[in-house]
Amino acid sequence: MQVIIADDKTDLDARAAELGVQLIKKAISEHGHANIILATGTSQIGMLEDLVKPEHDVPWDKVTAFHLDEFVGIADDHPASFRKYLLERFVAHAPGVEFVPVEADAEDMVAELTRLTDRLDQTRLDLCYCGIGENCHLAFNEPPANFESGSAFIGVQLDDVSRVQQVKEGWFSDLDAVPRTAITMTIPQMMKAEQIICVAPDERKAEAVKHAISGPVDPMYPASILQTHQNAVVYLDPQSAGLLETA
């Protein structure tokens, strides 16, 4: 795992996007197609804006994009929907991209999980973007996380820290409005990606970042598993890196 402390949030976004562009183009050059995973939340907004800039000249019609998680029961037109987030901030600016959403409001959730699993079983994953939650969750893999799950996606009960985070970030008006369950890509599935780019800015993430980077690999700190990935790069700003001894 490599840790990069950017000058500020703008620099972090640009550098994380630039590496992503390089890796996507490399995968297309080598395989004719790139398969990527995208995260959501306020931490990813600036990076996604940079990633889809036309000047990068990414052939998006040769890219398939999966996303990490979604609230159970949330429709794709709900203001807090992660599908809506990615449709507006990524898909609309990436002409021709194939987007594989998590339909967490599907009538048959077992069938939806099977659909996603079958699709991923046939897919080489070139790049996974992710963030770090305030409780150190990775995607919606809450502590204690399952580092050995054999499934690609699972249903999870959301930790109250994660639910409060959604309110603080402005996605919901109050805690009662935040769903208690979600569908998430599992950690073993994320770790199958050839490259992981973790984008984790903001002072409120500093404690989680400290555990993820400086502490032992521990299911109570799910993002600490990134330490074991040979090609993981974690981008921080000075605020999120504030509790690290190297900061």
Euclidean distance between CA atoms 180 and 175, whole angstroms: 10
> Tokens 């000058």 — which residue?
7
Contact yes or no for 232/196 (Cβ under 8 A): yes
- Take residue 215 and report the two structure tokens written for it: 């502490």
The residue written with tokens 């499934």 in the block is 151
Active site residue 78: no
Residue 137 is among the residues annotated as catalytic for this protein: yes
> Which one from 13, 35, 67, 69 is the annotated catalytic residue?
69
What lies within 8 Å, CB to CB, of 26 at 6+ separation is none
**Does 35 qualify as catalytic in the annotation?**
no
Beta-carbon contacts of 234 under 8 Å, excluding residues fewer than 6 positions away, are: 1, 2, 3, 4, 198, 200, 209, 212, 213, 226
Which residue out of 137, 141, 211, 237 is catalytically annotated? 137
Q: What number of other Cβ atoms are within 10 A of residue 181's Cβ?
A: 14
Q: DSSP state, 202? A: S
H or E, element range at 174 = none
Question: Is 142 annotated in the active site?
Answer: yes
Token pair listed for 174? 């109050």
The catalytic position among 13, 70, 135, 202 is 135
Structure tokens at 8: 């500020």
- Positions marked catalytic: 69, 135, 137, 142
